[in-house]
Structure 1
């Protein structure tokens, strides 16, 4: 899943010349993330979500570590390190639940459901930052939830519904909650660390979380559904299938490049200018799903997407300062 911040939008405003390069960087970053999502889905279908995500993160860290060091990288200050750790832990849960979900349901549908994250972020801002929840945000959340319901109805109401489709949808909704929390810290992190450091820290943290959590996952993966079969031990869970390596290495390069591009963009432009780019992910994901997995985009998906985006637009017309340009300390 992509890691940008779908914050409130003012898409009707013309893009100022100074914003052209950040917007273009975000466009390319989202496109690369969408292709990465497709590569990770294919790798996960071959050998399981957990080993694919762990190997991608290790590969990304190995590629980025020397680049970070050659560019003068040093151990971050404690406040910056806390941001790296927090966002890395959030990204671990966010990515694993998202990829588990899109293994079950079509890629475009998973991306569409994840677009509900901005409204969840408004609710989290109320809990974490003590902001007042506006009536418009509540109405918008209900509209977007109706959109999720439409997509779910299309999945579960098919003549031959996909096995565990409800679990896949629930997994992506959980990913969206973690993604929303991630929104509150993303721009702040981009302002205190270089793009290379941001990308490196996220890869390192995901690898650490999945590596240290592997023994627990072995015991619980039958319930969680990670992996194509029960692994006999933690090392087996962390070892991808040989046939998945080309996709994993490609995903590592694309993910790291996209993270750097997006971090560079968000350090130079407010999220309200970059967020419309987030929604181009649906087009790329629909294209990748059709080309690689023969996944058709149904009328249910398009209707649900329209409701979700309509709810996001309605709820974020008057943006919350913490979500539009998160400066407050993360919770």
Structure 2
């Protein structure tokens, strides 16, 4: 590995670590104030941070085609993020992150259905291995007599992975008509506009003490996105693919330190099977980063 790929790998690892910190902050906010409030106000925080950058760059306003894509992905990604953090508030961080690793595999099958891409034999074999990983995690919950809340949390995270995989398909189309700053800003803008009408029933104006956490989560997420974008611009995706799965280590560590969560052997075994299945399926081709979900 030459110096540039080595540096890119290190930068990508830092980006993943940052995302994991943001997940921990958002989990804490979701537990204390609900996933709806946490996602809504983090989206507004992202608008506050990214809006001035968009205006200072004097970027032309998006056209009709771009606006349609921004709206569609904002709704899809937003629904995914709300489900993800609702579920993450009920399961351990390690288990929640492990289930999100399914997104690249699901995206492959959705790309075949909607974009006409061919499903390779490796993708089918990898999906079977990853499915065993999900079943292993489910078996661990059954063995531990998991509560209904934990089971529902796992289902929510799994559903979030499916919706996020769909948003990846739209992201490919967005990238052809808009730059990353525009995509990130308008995704947050659409999400906030869609969620604001529900504030009287599901949320409330956050206190001043909560805003540093909101802006901090938005800032960390934005920095992570920039770091990963730089890394993927300086090394091939197949070189960087393994770094995405370091998120599981960070999730287990932060879950233990911040939330006193213990990771079961079932979760570790299930995560390893999911990672193995994903690596087998994406071998030799570019794969989307699974951990970008948390940044919406």
Given the alignment of the two structures, is residue 272 of structure 1 paired with residue 257 of structure 2, yes or no?
no
TM-score when normalising by structure 1: 0.78
Aligned equivalent of 2:182, options 184, 187, 197: 197
Task: Give the CA RMSD over aligned residues.
Answer: 2.6
Given the alignment of the two structures, is residue 107 of structure 1 paired with residue 130 of structure 2, yes or no?
no
2:219 is aligned to 253
How many residue pairs match? The answer is: 288
1:166 is aligned to 151
1:210 is aligned to 195
Shift of 1:241: 5.5
Higher helix share: 2
2:294 is aligned to none
Shift of 1:294: 0.3
Query: CA–CA distance in 2 between the matches of 1:200 and 1:267?
Result: 21
Counterparts in 2 of 1:20-169, with a 5 A limit? Answer: 22-158=8-144, 161-169=146-154
Distance change in 2, residues 1:208/1:249 (3 Å): same
Query: CA–CA distance in 2 between the matches of 1:158 and 1:272?
Result: 37
CA displacement 1:149-175 (0-9 Å, x = unmatched) = 11122123215x234222111111111
Structure 2: 5+ residue stretches without partners:
290-296
Given the alignment of the two structures, is residue 175 of structure 1 paired with residue 160 of structure 2, yes or no?
yes
TM-score when normalising by structure 2: 0.86
CA displacement 1:68-120 (0-9 Å, x = unmatched) = 21122331233433443333222201211110111110011000111111211
Contact 2:133–2:269 (8 Å) recurs in 1: yes
SS at match of 1:307: helix
Counterparts in 2 of 1:280-295, with a 5 A limit? Answer: 280-295=246-261
SS at match of 1:164: helix
1:297 is aligned to 263
CA displacement 1:112-135 (0-9 Å, x = unmatched) = 111111211121111112233333
Shift of 1:55: 0.7
Query: CA–CA distance in 2 between the matches of 1:21 and 1:64?
Result: 27
